[in-house]
């Protein structure tokens, strides 16, 4: 291993995409804080780009939790913010199918004040992933304006407009790389990946599958397929997955419920690190 200047392992952290299920990243961040461990590099895609940027900026897992609960605890406040994102012109409602939000404006309204302006202002090196729509390939960001890169990474098709960057149109990074642990191994001793994609779950009521469930469920299946193929080639040292459930991609108003269900991941993360410490005789993995 190549421990850092303080004798601790060099940890790489990959935070994957999964919409509102991505709130489950928070207990994992809190577990690292509990152990006094900070990643030396973070990679994030889609919702993982938001939490990766927040954590890389120096916010603790607990601080990120409080921000999320503050934003989504008041339904009326959320609706008020969404009202600010409405199309400015009536004609835009009918211009090209269903209304899509501008992801850069969404970030401005909800979380921009909590993030620095540029990658260079972050405390931890960060790589964010988006997808070149016409180029059909992954696009990585590691420098320059931060919010534009986050906006591109979260631009889920059908919900958000693509982000124009130079001559490219960028969409959600989860389309090509939903769990971006690749690339971390070169600079890290230990790679931790948090997979929050999930899979379609039948409704208890037995209701028919609606259009949105079909759309987002299909995305889950595709992203799981990509991740499973990646895991056949290489694997992170620790892979964390929250329990599968019926949380939908936009269920952010259920933040408290999602966090409560994901709370076990805090202990799971620490247990996995302790097991890794015993297996490798790396006692500095565990706080004393």
Catalytic residues: 46, 172
Instruction: Indicate the Cα dihedral angle 221, 68, 70, 156, nearest 10°.
Output: -50
- Read off the tokens for 39: 């990643």
Answer whether 33's CB lies under 8 Å from 264's CB.
no
CA distance 86 to 67: 24
CA 19 vs. chain centroid, Å, equals 8
The answer for residues whose C-beta is within 8 angstroms of residue 279's C-beta and 6 or more apart is: none
Q: Please classify residue 28 by burial: count the beta carbons closer than 10 Å to its beta carbon, then call 0-12 exposed, 13-18 middle and 19+ buried.
A: buried
- Which of 52, 46, 65, 99 has its CA nearest to residue 220? 46
121: number of Cβ within 10 Å: 12
**3-class DSSP state of 128:** strand
């Amino acid at each position: 291993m190549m421990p850092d200047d303080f004798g601790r392992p060099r940890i790489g952290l990959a935070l994957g995409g999964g919409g509102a299920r991505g709130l489950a990243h928070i207990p994992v961040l809190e577990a690292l804080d509990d152990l006094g461990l900070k990643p030396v590099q973070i990679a994030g895609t889609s919702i993982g780009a938001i939490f990766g940027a927040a954590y890389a900026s120096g916010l603790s897992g607990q601080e990120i939790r409080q921000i999320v609960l503050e934003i989504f605890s008041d339904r009326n406040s959320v609706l008020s913010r969404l009202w600010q994102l409405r199309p400015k012109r009536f004609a835009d409602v009918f211009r090209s199918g269903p209304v899509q939000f501008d992801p850069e404006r969404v970030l401005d309204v909800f979380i921009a004040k909590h993030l620095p302006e540029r990658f260079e202002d972050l405390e931890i090196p960060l790589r964010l992933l988006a997808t070149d729509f016409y180029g059909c390939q992954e696009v990585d960001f590691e420098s320059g304006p931060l919010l534009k890169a986050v906006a591109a990474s979260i631009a889920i098709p059908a919900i958000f407009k693509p982000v124009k960057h130079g001559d490219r149109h960028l969409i959600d990074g989860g389309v090509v790389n939903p769990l971006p642990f690749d690339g971390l191994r070169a600079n890290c001793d230990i790679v931790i990946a948090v997979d929050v994609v999930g899979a379609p779950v039948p409704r208890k009521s037995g209701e028919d599958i609606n259009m949105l469930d079909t759309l987002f469920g299909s995305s889950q299946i595709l992203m799981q397929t990509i991740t499973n193929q990646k895991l056949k080639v290489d694997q992170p040292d620790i892979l964390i997955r929250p329990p599968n459930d019926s949380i939908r991609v936009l269920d952010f108003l259920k933040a408290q419920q999602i966090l409560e269900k994901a709370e076990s991941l805090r202990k799971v993360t620490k247990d996995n690190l302790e097991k890794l410490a015993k297996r490798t005789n790396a006692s500095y993995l565990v706080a004393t």
